[in-house]
């Protein structure tokens, strides 16, 4: 029987119900208990005390046994069994109960009892159809496996696969734990523009759109950074934003074009303060959400307990490859050194990018336990403050967990003249390469010229954090509706 046939049968049933005066989509329903509350109420009741409930939910299984029918209802709290008996509700009501279809929403009034096999069950006194379903549910014990259907019709995935539901509940709990952590430390959550006349704060391809009334090109933000710093300049000392960034780039198990990022800025702090804050946050969120600061990711045990390992990029590369970037301190010297080690790193635009490639190739995959990589090359860090000791480097770190780049932070550059030069330098770099020029944000520099306090800033991807906390290998498993190609 085709899908249309099953759907056709249900539409026919719907017409019969309407003809019999039953509203298959009544506007309101009664409910006294969720499934979980009903079960708890029964357990708490004194022996022999009658517990009457009205529960509501989706019909997910049905066992018709002649004049008795068992079924399970699922609601947001879990599931509960109900039992209908013809001798208790009469032939007409019993017939109507049997004619319910899997996936229909109903509510049920009755008293709770324990069956012979021990399951707490609602003995049906009366029931009401709340919403007729016209299509069947996925198969009941294999669930829904087809990846494409799971992503395109996530509601079916959530209905059929309990562990998927759990992942997204965990995601929500992680995000609210982050908010609690930051709010408790005096951070305020703010909202900055998603539609921006100029994009910045990261080196990424933007999505471009157009505002009709203004007749103006707008970009979907690639980062929050430049707006949040304007707020630091404006006198908010601790701000954060959780929201979507949009990057017009490839899709992979670690990249979705639209992803959730958090950025935070703290005035009168530097990147050392940020490291202390971040490791404390991860450990506390893990403790709160997972009950432990040690977690398992793809077969590896990860210990988030502070303090995390800190190592400079120079030292990490030296340890892994024997190449000292302080000696190979020009593009040509470093290119020669990497070739001598048999590494093919392509032709990046400058020394800093070559350092980064070398790092990604030789160090990154080995960073399983949480690690801060500090002191990045200046020419790939146009928004970070130079290290006092060596102006080729900046006070910046990225942190890595399970071989994955998880986030990025620095002591923020607050020297407006230096900032202008940095923007101009990156534009030079991009002009020589194929990448689009990075726009100089004059308005941002003007803001900084009004004075910006010393500030530490940080950003990380929430999706990758959720992957880590829920042991998922693909970012699509932690985004409710991941980007897929449209079907014709």
Residues 236 to 265 in contact with RNA, rule: CB under 7 A: 247, 249-253, 255
Residue among 108, 304, 383, 448 that touches RNA (CB under 7 A): 383
Sign (positive or negative) of CA dihedral 448, 452, 456, 458 = negative
Pairing of strands 195-196, 216-220: antiparallel
Distances (CA, A) of 482 to 175, 255, 258: 18, 10, 8
Measured torsion, CA atoms of residues 91, 94, 100, 102, in degrees rounded to the nearest 10 = -150
- Residue 377 CA to residue 356 CA, distance in Å, equals 8
Distances (CA, A) of 80 to 52, 351, 432: 14, 64, 66
The smaller minimum CB distance to RNA, of residues 238 and 247, is found at: 247
The smaller minimum CB distance to RNA, of residues 192 and 427, is found at: 427
CB of 294 to RNA, least distance (A): 24
Residues 6-45 that bind RNA (CB under 7 A): 6, 9
Instruction: DSSP letter for 268, please.
Output: T
Residue among 236, 276, 474, 480 that touches RNA (CB under 7 A): 474
Does residue 218 belong to the site contacting RNA (CB under 7 A)? Answer: no
Residues 347-376 that bind RNA (CB under 7 A): 356, 360
Helices (H), 378-441: 416-432
- Residue 357 CA to residue 354 CA, distance in Å, equals 5
Does residue 148 belong to the site contacting RNA (CB under 7 A)? Answer: yes
The smaller minimum CB distance to RNA, of residues 62 and 369, is found at: 62
CB of 139 to RNA, least distance (A): 3
| Residues 344-353: contacts with CB under 8 Å, at least 24 apart | 349/429, 349/430, 349/432, 349/433, 349/435, 350/379, 350/380, 350/429, 351/377, 351/379, 352/376, 352/377, 352/378, 352/379, 352/380, 352/381, 353/379, 353/380
State both tokens at 451: 């004075």
Residue among 24, 42, 97, 101 that touches RNA (CB under 7 A): 101
- Residue 240 CA to residue 256 CA, distance in Å, equals 22
CB of 211 to RNA, least distance (A): 26
Stretch that binds RNA, among 26-34, 274-282, 322-330, 476-484 (CB under 7 A): 476-484
Residues 272-331 that bind RNA (CB under 7 A): none
CB of 10 to RNA, least distance (A): 8
304: three-class secondary structure by DSSP: coil
Q: What is the CA radius of gyration of the chain?
A: 29
CB of 38 to RNA, least distance (A): 15
Does residue 72 belong to the site contacting RNA (CB under 7 A)? Answer: yes
CB of 67 to RNA, least distance (A): 4
Residue among 126, 131, 140, 294 that touches RNA (CB under 7 A): 140
CB of 427 to RNA, least distance (A): 10
Helices 225-233 and 442-449: angle between axes, nearest 10 degrees = 20
Residues 41-70 that bind RNA (CB under 7 A): 61-68, 70
- The answer to whether 381 and 202 are in contact (CB under 8 A) is no
300's enclosing H/E stretch is strand 300-303
The smaller minimum CB distance to RNA, of residues 116 and 210, is found at: 116
State both tokens at 297: 């990711």
Residues 385-424 that bind RNA (CB under 7 A): 398, 405, 408
Residues 193-212 that bind RNA (CB under 7 A): 201-204
The smaller minimum CB distance to RNA, of residues 40 and 203, is found at: 203
The smaller minimum CB distance to RNA, of residues 32 and 62, is found at: 62
The smaller minimum CB distance to RNA, of residues 29 and 137, is found at: 137
The smaller minimum CB distance to RNA, of residues 140 and 341, is found at: 140
The smaller minimum CB distance to RNA, of residues 31 and 79, is found at: 79
What backbone phi and psi angles, to 5 degrees, belong to 46? -70, 155
Residue among 358, 438, 458, 470 that touches RNA (CB under 7 A): 438
CB of 116 to RNA, least distance (A): 3
Does residue 91 belong to the site contacting RNA (CB under 7 A)? Answer: no
The smaller minimum CB distance to RNA, of residues 237 and 418, is found at: 418
Instruction: DSSP letter for 365, please.
Output: G
Q: Which of 287, 286, 289, 232 is nearest to 264 (CA)?
A: 232
Stretch that binds RNA, among 43-51, 110-118, 234-242, 282-290 (CB under 7 A): 110-118
The smaller minimum CB distance to RNA, of residues 183 and 360, is found at: 360
Measured torsion, CA atoms of residues 70, 74, 80, 86, in degrees rounded to the nearest 10 = -30
Q: Kindly give, in sequence order, each residue whose CB lies less than 8 Å from that of residue 114, ignoring residues fewer than 6 positions away.
A: 42, 120, 121
Does residue 342 belong to the site contacting RNA (CB under 7 A)? Answer: no
CB of 438 to RNA, least distance (A): 6
CB of 370 to RNA, least distance (A): 17
CB of 8 to RNA, least distance (A): 9
């Amino acid at each position: 029987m085709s899908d249309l046939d099953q759907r056709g049968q249900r539409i026919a049933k719907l017409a019969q119900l309407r003809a019999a005066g039953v509203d298959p989509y009544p506007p309101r329903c009664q409910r006294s208990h969720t499934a979980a509350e009903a079960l708890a109420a029964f357990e708490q009741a004194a022996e022999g005390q009658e517990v009457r409930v009205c529960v509501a939910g989706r019909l997910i299984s049905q066992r018709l046994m002649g004049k008795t029918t068992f079924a399970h209802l699922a609601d947001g709290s879990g599931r509960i069994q109900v039992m209908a008996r013809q001798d208790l509700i009469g032939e007409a009501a019993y017939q109507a109960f049997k004619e319910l279809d899997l996936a229909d929403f109903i509510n049920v009034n009755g008293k709770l009892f324990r069956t012979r096999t021990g399951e707490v069950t609602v003995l049906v006194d009366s029931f009401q159809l709340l919403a007729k379903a016209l299509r069947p549910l996925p198969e009941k014990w294999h669930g829904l496996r087809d990846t494409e259907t799971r992503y395109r019709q996530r509601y079916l995935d959530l209905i059929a696969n309990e562990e998927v539901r759990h992942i997204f509940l965990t995601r929500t709990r992680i995000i609210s734990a982050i908010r609690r952590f930051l709010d408790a430390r005096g951070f305020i959550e703010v909202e900055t523009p998603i539609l921006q006349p100029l994009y910045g704060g990261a080196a990424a391809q933007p999505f471009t759109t157009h505002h009709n009334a203004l007749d103006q090109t707008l970009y979907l933000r690639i980062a929050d950074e430049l707006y949040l710093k304007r707020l630091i300049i404006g006198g908010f000392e601790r701000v954060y934003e959780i929201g979507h960034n949009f990057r017009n780039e490839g899709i992979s198990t670690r990249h979705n074009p639209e992803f959730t990022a958090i950025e935070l800025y703290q005035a009168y702090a530097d990147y050392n303060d940020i490291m202390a804050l971040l490791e404390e946050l991860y450990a506390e969120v893990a403790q709160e959400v997972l009950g432990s600061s040690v977690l398992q990711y793809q077969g590896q045990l990860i210990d988030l307990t502070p303090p995390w390992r800190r190592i400079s990029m120079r030292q990490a590369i030296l340890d892994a490859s024997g190449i000292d970037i302080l000696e190979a301190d020009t593009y040509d010297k470093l290119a020669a050194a990497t070739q001598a080690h048999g590494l093919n790193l392509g032709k990046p635009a400058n020394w800093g990018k070559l350092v980064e490639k070398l790092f990604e190739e030789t160090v990154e995959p080995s960073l399983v336990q949480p690690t801060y990589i500090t002191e990045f090359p200046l020419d790939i860090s146009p928004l970070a403050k130079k290290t006092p000791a060596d102006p080729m480097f900046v006070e910046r770190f990225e942190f890595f967990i399970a071989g994955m780049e998880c986030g990025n932070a620095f002591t923020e550059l607050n020297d407006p003249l230096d900032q202008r030069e940095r923007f101009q330098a990156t534009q030079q770099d991009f002009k020589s390469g194929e990448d689009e020029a990075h726009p100089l944000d004059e308005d941002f520099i003007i803001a900084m010229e009004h004075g910006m306090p010393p500030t530490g800033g940080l950003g990380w991807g929430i999706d990758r954090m959720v992957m880590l906390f829920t042991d998922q290998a693909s970012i699509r498993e932690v985004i409710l509706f991941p980007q897929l190609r449209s079907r014709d």
